Amino acid sequence: MAQLSEIATWWGRHRLSADRTDLWSIGNLEILVEHLETSWRLHWRHVAKTETNVPAAVSAPRSVSASRAVGLSREQIEQFLAHPQPASAISPHFPAKVNSVTIPAANANEDLIFSPTLPEESLVMSLEAAAVLDPGEKLIIGFQIPLGLRVETVSGQNASREALEIPLVPMIRTWGGTTPLNGELALTTDTPARIERWSQLEPRLDVACVSVAVVNRGSDSVFVDRLLIPTSRLSLFHSPQTGFWCDSILLDANASDGGITTGSQTERTFPREAGSPTLVSHARQGPLESAAMKGLANFRSTIGTSVENLFKERG
């Protein structure tokens, strides 16, 4: 009888024999992986942490942020896909939607790679209470950024093939700016993300911590209630003792931006409590640009670099 068991890491290279099905639970994400002779079938949903629809034969530990069940039966697979679904992580009034995708396999000996990633689009973080910064004043805030799961397939020593990315926490799209030309399409989440004290932080497997400094360089006081975190410009780091971390960020607060920060600088520094985390993956893109500048750059050339994730071969 399959059971969800606590795991210290969910990333790395995973080998599933043909016709085997495993289930991972990582934060709000439950992902079921079927390995068939000629393909992979992935089914996933985002469920409220207080509720789960794991098959009856699968017991889920509640006190861990990641767990795995090995070798699910056909009955358990059908129970995972059956209705009604558990409550969604977005709202308890709606069932969690099951998403499915089929990935062609190069051969029956192909492996699956899970890698942690930061959101490709910037993240809008709202403050519980708006802050007013006087000229020259700086505000330092800690946030937890939801990670994503990059899925790749690989056979032997061949290069891996990226299949898709799945956020560990469901997010919705919003506009990170005050005008169509001053800002960008961004993501936001209702999940509490503010870190009150670094010393009380417990390492988790589904979020990355970031230190954000907001400074008022102008001559007038500035009202700030939202921060635009350029996640695609951040590198990702990890420590077994303290969890995931990102580059520190310096944001400019301007009176003309209507409460949302614009402009950013990143720095490879961490709070003292982070220890000495190791680089996992480099930033996806370079310095932050406005929507107008992005459009011009995209017209001239393709922006972006390939990202190599150092957790691919770890398990």
Q: What is the pLDDT of residues 97-137, one digit of tens each?
A: 899 999 999 888 899 999 999 999 999 988 888 889 999 99
The answer to whether residues 125 and 100 belong to one domain is no
| Rounded average pLDDT over 2-26 | 91
Same domain, 142 and 286: yes
315 found inside a domain: no
Task: Please indicate, yes or no, if residue 158 is contained in any of the structural domains.
Answer: no
Residue position matching structure tokens 């970031």: 210
Q: Are 260 and 142 members of one domain?
A: yes
Q: What is the pTM of this model?
A: 0.81
Domain that holds residue 29: 5-109
Collapsing DSSP to helix, strand or coil, 107 comes out as coil
- Average pLDDT score, the chain: 81
Over residues 27-44, the mean pLDDT reads 94
pLDDT tens-digit map of 43-88: 999 998 754 444 444 444 333 479 999 999 999 999 999 877 788 8
Are 86 and 136 in the same domain?
A: no
Which carries the bigger pLDDT value, residue 47 or residue 307?
Answer: 47
* Distance separating alpha carbons of residues 99 and 47, to the nearest angstrom: 12
Domain count, the chain: 2
Does residue 176 sit within a domain? yes
pLDDT given at position 299:
38
Same domain, 102 and 130: no
Tens digit of each residue's pLDDT (9 = 90 or more) over 205-225: 999 999 999 998 888 888 888
Q: Based on the fold, state whether residues 90 and 182 are members of the same structural domain.
A: no
Q: What is the pLDDT of residue 88?
A: 82
Strand 248-252, strand 207-215: pairing = parallel
CA distance 25 to 107: 27
- Number of Cα atoms under 13 Å in the Cβ half of residue 78: 3
Residue 136 shares a structural domain with residue 35:
no
User: Does an H or E element contain 133, and which?
Assistant: strand 123-133
